[in-house]
Amino acid sequence: MADSANAPKPSSSVKLVLLGEAAVGKSSLVLRFVNNDFQENKEPTIGAAFLTQKCNLPTRTIKFEIWDTAGQERFASLAPMYYRNAQAALVVYDLTKPTSLVKAKHWVAELQRQASPGIVIALVGNKLDLTNDGNGEGAESGGEGASAEDSGDARKVTTEEAKTYAEDENLLFFETSAKTGYNVTEVFTAIANAIPETSLKSARGAAASHAASRAEEQRVNLNGPRDPNAKEGCAC
């Protein structure tokens, strides 16, 4: 994921938002992707953090504008502010915490209804390093059932369950470890590939979707009749 921007390749920006329960490793995923680094103690994200990273595809370069949101429940009402106009979303859950998948499903539902139409959503189960699969980096679902019990596997969400859900909802699906770096770049590459060419035309890459998302915005913010003049999309 080097910044070797090849001049002839078309370059475009993609706004990507990370959502998910607190402490599932959103910021860590981004940090791994952007800096190929991992910190045990990352400052909590207040509101949202903004980072950028380029992703080179054979045919084009995608510049990700990453919005890493705060995970604490009460920040949820701020989320619409960040996912507006997003062309891609990473919904992260913790493989060792079933409730985080529930929360992830909520986010998926929220995005599907409120975010820009055509948003590419990836469901990401993080902390694979805490499971047996993560140890060998095999991620083969074969060993799961048998070995989970006896070897202190911290996995609480089966690949099968999350995968089935992802398929039902038409999401990209990955299991990653921000700690080991396993599968992290793959997620972003897959998203870059999944972004429809049409929405990448403009300089910022989002112009096409802007009009649509603008209209969408009205819905997102439910600004209602009381507040028709207010700037859209603000304050949830």
What 3-state class would DSSP assign to 117? coil
- Cβ of residue 92: shortest distance to other proteins, in angstroms? 15
Residue with tokens 């996912």: 83
- Cβ of residue 21: shortest distance to other proteins, in angstroms? 11
Nearer to other proteins, 146 or 234 (CB): 234
- 125 with 174: CB under 8 angstroms? yes
- 9 with 55: CB under 8 angstroms? no
- Cβ of residue 158: shortest distance to other proteins, in angstroms? 20
CA–CA dist 120, 16 (Å, integer): 9
Helices and strands, counts by H and E, the chain: 8, 6
Nearer to other proteins, 88 or 139 (CB): 88
CA–CA dist 155, 158 (Å, integer): 7
- Cβ of residue 185: shortest distance to other proteins, in angstroms? 21
Residue with tokens 């985080």: 100
Nearer to other proteins, 1 or 81 (CB): 81
Residues that bind other proteins (CB under 8 A): 13, 22-23, 40-48, 50, 52, 65, 70, 72-78, 80-82, 84-85, 106, 109-110, 113-114, 204, 210, 221-224, 226-227, 230-231, 233-236
CA 185 to chain centre: 12
Nearer to other proteins, 45 or 183 (CB): 45
Nearer to other proteins, 161 or 227 (CB): 227
- Cβ of residue 72: shortest distance to other proteins, in angstroms? 5
